[in-house]
Structure 1
Amino acid sequence: MKLLDQTLQRIKPLDARAMAKAQAHLDELTKPPGSLGALEDIARRLAGIRGEVPRRLSRKAHILMAGDHGVVAEGVSAFPQEVTPQMVFNFSRGGAAINVLARHASAELVLVDIGVASDLPELPGLLKRKVAPGTANLARGPAMTREQAIAALEVGIEVASAKIEAGNELLGIGEMGIGNTTPSSAILAVFSGRPVEEITGRGTGVDANRLRLKIKAIQQGLAINNPNPDDPLDVLAKVGGLEIAGMAGVILAGVAMRVPVIIDGFISGAAALVATRLAPLAGEFILASHLSEEPGHAVALELMGLKPMLTMQMRLGEGTGAALGMTLVDAAIMIYHEMATFSQAGISGALKS
């Protein structure tokens, strides 16, 4: 049996009893019920995933998947494909935004070459798990074979499982891949049924002409490949990306091993859409960090029933929003365990209706 099938079979619902117990404790804290909003929801969700709200998160890992895309040949990006390996070098040296924010969140940054088009040398912190040297051009045919899509999902499962077994209690996901908002928009178009032009944004800041090329490439790819929305693997293989598949695998491993996964913006949102179509219960284990400036992100979150913690006008990727979200998970845990209850503080509680 494939690792993917084994992982999907291990997925179970949240612990409703633990969530009710956590909610009762939250309601006894010295505040009006629900007044800490998303922080309370995070604590309650952690209880459902873990069986209780942990006292602290001993270790966190942020997994960044890097891969290239053949669709850049259609002129969909303002940056050349060479930027992907150049940024991987930057990540390895610790100089990118995600390096700074992962350090801020006290999270280990795990770099994975799952599909960079060029051969990378041995670099500090880089896992070389290349499934293919980038995807094919989705505007001209399938981006991947079904076997490649499964292999990339399983890379994500393997990397995440190893980090969880090493003691990590919270996972974040991020990506690097020039052109990857194009397959993300294509995935969202299939699952949402929305018009491509409505959910496709400027990504790295493309001008109006490149935006037209991007929309045309996606429309052409959908027409040529005819991905089946009822078959998530078909969608992923035909119009997806290797790093998108890898992130979806990370989510599935976290769900199967009952470790929360915090997603970033639009591209990790597309990965989460794939994961939740493969395993509908997965959405209950996902924490949405922020609302991206990409127009499709709000649609993706709505499809999954997720609410973002932050609105920061961010659209960088790399998992920068997820790293910021990790600090809010820490805050939610501290609130849950360190804030006084009404009885402890000697304060009259809210009147019961």
Structure 2
Amino acid sequence: MATFPRFIIPPINQSNTDTLRHKIDEKTKPRGALGQLETLALQIGCIQNSLTPQLHQPTLIVFAGDHGISAENVSPYPQSVTYQMVLNFLAGGAAINVFAKQHQLDLQIVDAGVNYTFNTPSKLINAKIAYGTKNFLYEPAMTFQQCHLAIEQGATIVRQQHIQRCNMIGFGEMGIANTASASVLMHLLTNIPLIDCVGRGTGLNDAGLARKYNVLQKAIATQQMVSNNPLQILATFGGFEIAMLVGAYCQAAACGMVILVDGFIATVALLVAIKQYPFLLNYCIFSHCSHEKGHRLLLEYLHVDPLLQLNMRLGEGSGAAIAYPLLQSAVLFLNEMASFTEAKVSNLI
């Protein structure tokens, strides 16, 4: 059996935790008055091991890939929408383009395995493993070699960003039927009942939702998955974009970067990585709770609190982009807000 790629991910350095907390408490405000922003400031300071953390070259990377399981009509949209949306990303017309531009986030688009040949190499990172995965209703979605390569490709792309001084990174995805893949991964890695992991994705009606559940239930039975090995589960039911997300998360943590997590699929990819590298979780900030059914349960399983709950279910990294200004606010108040002593304000606490 193939082994998971090796990354060195230490626990975040907490030697400055007490000093950071004191610095936060000494700002000109009642203790705890900035709520979750104070938690954010403490976490970012610990990740960077700094009393004056900075966010350099903030970047969002969107990985796109197609899924063979889409042939079973588990999405209301045809597979062709994947490549059409990638072209929309490259043309600057998608929601993630708008939000990335608004918040001055560098946006990178990756072809992880789209069933299309693109003619825009200068705007697209070509990391294509294959023209979509296999249909996991009948056979594993990818080979171990493909899965391993996808993880390594995701890691390589993040290393390149880190070399360019990026220390805050978020990830998005695009792939018709990838909520189907993510639902199975979540079920098998958490033992949460499949029915609670399967949602409407891009807008299935009740009949479509029932069909999606039945297809996934049959696929799990067909593949006879008895292993709890994250790599085997990922190779059997995952997508190339999900596997690249796994590698991207691992490498970002190995580089000591602040990681901003998007919605359901992005969190499922993180789950795969955390099963192998538990310390990875401490590098992650969860942007929002998606409207997709399983996401809330997955966040509860991980014991994490998302920053926002806006009933979003778009993917693309859109939730991460929307939440990024909160990270900016956390860092800015920590670095620029006066202390009681500096402002000559009485501290009654």
- TM-score bracket for the superposition, by shorter chain length: over 0.9
Please show how residues 71-86 of structure 1 align to structure 2 within 5 Å. 71-86=69-84
Instruction: State the 1:3 CA deviation.
Output: 11
Instruction: State the 1:55 CA deviation.
Output: 5.0
1:50 paired residue number: 48
1:313 aligns with 2:314: no
- Taking only the aligned residue pairs, the percentage that are identical comes to 36
Instruction: State the 1:95 CA deviation.
Output: 0.6
1:103 paired residue number: 101
1:208 aligns with 2:200: no
Question: Secondary structure in 2 aligned to 1:16?
Answer: coil
1:337 paired residue number: 335
> For the residues of structure 1 that align with 2:56 and 2:184, how far apart are their CA atoms?
38
> For the residues of structure 2 that align with 1:5 and 1:246, how far apart are their CA atoms?
12
> For the residues of structure 1 that align with 2:45 and 2:53, how far apart are their CA atoms?
11
Instruction: State the 1:19 CA deviation.
Output: 2.5
Q: Is the CA contact (8 Å cut-off) linking 1:92 and 1:124 kept in structure 2?
A: no
Instruction: State the 1:35 CA deviation.
Output: 2.3
Deviations 1:131-182 (A, max 9, x none): 1111111222211111111111111100011001111111010011011100
1:62 paired residue number: 60
Instruction: State the 1:53 CA deviation.
Output: 4.7
Question: Secondary structure in 2 aligned to 1:63?
Answer: strand
1:282 paired residue number: 280
Question: Secondary structure in 2 aligned to 1:293?
Answer: coil
Instruction: State the 1:184 CA deviation.
Output: 0.6
1:226 paired residue number: 224
TM-score where L is the length of structure 2: 0.96
1:258 aligns with 2:256: yes
Instruction: State the 1:327 CA deviation.
Output: 1.3
Deviations 1:167-209 (A, max 9, x none): 1111010011011100111111112212211221101001111
Question: Secondary structure in 2 aligned to 1:120?
Answer: coil
Deviations 1:242-301 (A, max 9, x none): 111111111111100000111110010111101111101000001100000011111221
TM-score where L is the length of structure 1: 0.95
Q: Measured at CA, do residues 332 and 190 of structure 1 come closer, stay the same or move farther in structure 2, by a change above 3 Å?
A: same
- For structure 1, which runs of at least 5 residues remain unmatched after alignment? none
> For the residues of structure 2 that align with 1:285 and 1:227, how far apart are their CA atoms?
30
Q: Is the CA contact (8 Å cut-off) linking 2:66 and 2:82 kept in structure 1?
A: yes
2:35 paired residue number: 37
Deviations 1:54-108 (A, max 9, x none): 4532311100000000011111001000111111110001110000111122111
Question: Secondary structure in 1 aligned to 2:305?
Answer: coil
Question: Secondary structure in 2 aligned to 1:139?
Answer: coil
Deviations 1:312-338 (A, max 9, x none): 110011000011121111111111111
Deviations 1:15-36 (A, max 9, x none): 1112222111111112222222
Q: Measured at CA, do residues 102 and 21 of structure 1 come closer, stay the same or move farther in structure 2, by a change above 3 Å?
A: same
Q: Measured at CA, do residues 303 and 228 of structure 1 come closer, stay the same or move farther in structure 2, by a change above 3 Å?
A: farther
> For the residues of structure 2 that align with 1:228 and 1:68, how far apart are their CA atoms?
26
> For the residues of structure 2 that align with 1:111 and 1:320, how far apart are their CA atoms?
13
Q: Figure out how many residues of one structure are paired with residues of the other and give that number.
A: 348
